[in-house]
Chain A
């Protein structure tokens, strides 16, 4: 009983600010509502509309494409940085701070700066490319390049943050294990794949779960840099939801799309849980 009293306040917050809105969104997905008038009950009409809405499925495809660009690049880079900084080196702490700085900056401000950098005529990126004789493309107005640019901006921003968690994981691996391996004549490559990676699993699990969820919810960089364009090439599902709710004022349909995004994230996260559960996690604490 006492336990319930103790978790009471946070439980109330959880119910009021998470469960109630989720139920609210689900209920809203059964209505047609322009945010102002009286909502009209339409049953499953919004879900039927979704089935025939090519733009929504394009947005789902764009979202998956973004996650596929973002997560592997970000995770591998963060791991390499963490491995480098885990060695005892001069100025290691300075580098650690430098790598985390982009994460501390405001995404909207960064979006504006990177938009300048990728400007085809006056931008720094194409200027640098021209120095080595390459004519850079029109990055953000090209249907081919816009999404990779957005992904790279996010990789740049969040790699340092991911690196922090992996570095903490690396530092939790007891030195003796490596010493024992060295005595047994295990090569550096083998040490990485047989010791470091398996023992890093708890950190990797956390990093992947949170980053994948965050990637599926990509909004701000798209909002600032491309507004979903050119065409619909960077319209992620979350941006499409925003468009439907706050530009077209189709609140009911936007709620339906939000449910779809929620279900997608739930499925992918459950898959990750299953994958990691099958594998042993070592605990040194």
Chain B
């Protein structure tokens, strides 16, 4: 019964009231002491912290007068923290930026346009993947330099695959269709086992006591599940970048229905009660516990699978293809420079370093994340090969049909309504059509009436 909200709220309000008088609600994240400038660099992924700390150590060696505090804030709190930080002018100098939030940050004038700095420094932006760089540009402005990229692939438990008589090569060539389920559902049926060792397509299968599900699908907004099924079914989430949402079109609804069917009709996917945010275990944990044999996940989680599961016990394969072919979400992050940082010159130095081939190589070669500079991709693949994991599927996915993150100013509304409604869809308490209609109308309303 903590009065957390009211208190925080009151603090923010009081802060707003006082800002005019004192202009001092929380100091800036940076400080200057004895000629040394201290910058704050905020990130959200715990599994990437070590690699970025190593990169920062290099940076500090080359820039003795700049100290960098690496601050880790979990994704669930990250954007609230940024927004309240911006309100109280207590912001990190440099921070990870995501396309889902970029339009809003840009609109609010929180992120620096780097165009003139890139020009003055004579930076060669040709080294970056053009697809990635374009996402951070809008007209003549550039809000970040590509730091990394990610796609979604299948992660599987090797011994369960062997027990079901499936090969890694078969896993790379699965396909689905909404009517029969295709070879994808057939494979998942082999992988799904109830307490008596029966499969869902056998008589006497007990759907209430399943020991291992063929697949666990979990994503608070859809990036690792129904967006990908949607793309494989020809669904477009928006009519154009910054345009209207089109989530309730037949191709999208059919894809969502297919995912609901995986749970409720075919009984091959873990039910919503086990995969819904916020109570679900993480995907690496679900696989490690043996609750599911496969899952769809992004490469950012590879190190989590590595620490959760015994070495050599898991592998990576391509996503299945659907009626419209293959497809995965393709996304990437960049570092943003806070527009009102007290140390713009030092922050730009850090931004440049983090996006430099030297730093991206260091991070990629540690197997932490695919780099924004394509020529360094091999380093990431080699790092995982050395650990016995073939991560080619992520790269193949990025070279095939992809969709970028939806660009919109209504992202926060979209995320909130999707989480609310899709949790019920995966529990079988709401139809895909009703959820899609609701998400669509509320998110579209938020584009025009957003305050």
Contact = CB atoms under 8 A, between A and B. Distances in A.
A65 interface: no
A140 interface: yes
Given A21-B17, A238-B6, 9 more contacts: A24-B14, A24-B17, A34-B83, A35-B84, A37-B108, A143-B429, A219-B1, A219-B2, A229-B419
Interface stretch (A175-183, A199-207, A249-257): A249-257
The 6 closest A-B pairs by CB, nearest first: A138-B273, A32-B451, A214-B1, A24-B13, A21-B10, A141-B273
Pick the most buried of A28, A39, A230, A247: most chain B CB atoms within 10 A of its CB.
Answer: A230
30 contacts: A20-B14, A21-B10, A25-B10, A27-B17, A35-B12, A35-B83, A35-B86, A36-B86, A37-B109, A121-B274, A121-B291, A140-B279, A143-B424, A143-B429, A217-B3, A217-B6, A218-B1, A223-B4, A226-B278, A229-B419, A230-B424, A231-B421, A238-B5, A247-B80, A247-B415, A247-B416, A248-B413, A249-B104, A249-B412, A252-B451
A141 B412 contact: no
B2 A246 contact: no
Interface in B13-27: 13-14, 16-17
Contact of B13 (A21, A239, A246): A21
A61 interface: no
Nearest to B291: A121
A75 interface: no
B268 interface: no
B423 interface: yes
Interface in A218-242: 218-221, 223, 225-232, 238-239, 241-242
B16 to A, nearest CB: 7
Given A25-B13, A28-B16, A241-B5, A135 B423 contact: no
User: Interface of chain A, helix or strand or loop or mixed?
Assistant: helix
B420 A225 contact: no
Nearest to A70: B1
Nearest to B451: A32
A157 to B, nearest CB: 9
A145 B247 CA distance: 30
A268 to B, nearest CB: 15
Given A141-B272, A249-B83, A254 B279 contact: no
A120 interface: yes
Contacts of B5: 217, 219, 238-239, 241-242, 245
A35 B416 CA distance: 18
Interface in B61-91: 79-80, 83-84, 86-87
Contacts of B293: none
Contacts of A17: 14
User: Which range holds the interface residue count of chain A?
Assistant: 35 or more
Interface of A: 17, 20-25, 27-28, 32-37, 39-40, 107, 115, 119-122, 135, 138, 140-143, 154, 158, 214-215, 217-221, 223, 225-232, 238-239, 241-243, 245-255, 258, 261
Contacts of A122: 289
Contacts of B208: 135
B172 interface: no
B55 interface: no
Pick the most buried of A21, A154, A158, A219: most chain B CB atoms within 10 A of its CB.
Answer: A21
Nearest to A243: B416
Contacts of B16: 24, 28, 39
A254 B9 contact: yes
Contact of A248 (B13, B277, B416): B416
A214 B3 CA distance: 8
Nearest to A146: B279
B80 to A, nearest CB: 4
A229 B6 contact: no
Given A231-B424, A246-B80, A249-B83, A220 B14 contact: no
B353 to A, nearest CB: 28
B108 A36 contact: yes
B427 interface: yes
A229 B416 contact: no
B294 interface: no
A122 B288 CA distance: 14
Given A25-B13, A141-B427, A232 B279 contact: no
Given A20-B14, A141-B276, A249-B412, A258 B9 contact: yes
A189 B359 CA distance: 78
Contacts of A218: 1
Contact of A231 (B79, B110, B429): B429
A261 B450 CA distance: 24
Interface string B197-224: 0000000000010000000000000000
Contacts of A23: 17
Contact of B9 (A32, A221, A245): A245
A120 B274 contact: yes
A230 B2 contact: no
Contacts of A249: 83, 104, 412
B277 A227 contact: yes
B26 to A, nearest CB: 14
Contacts of B450: 34
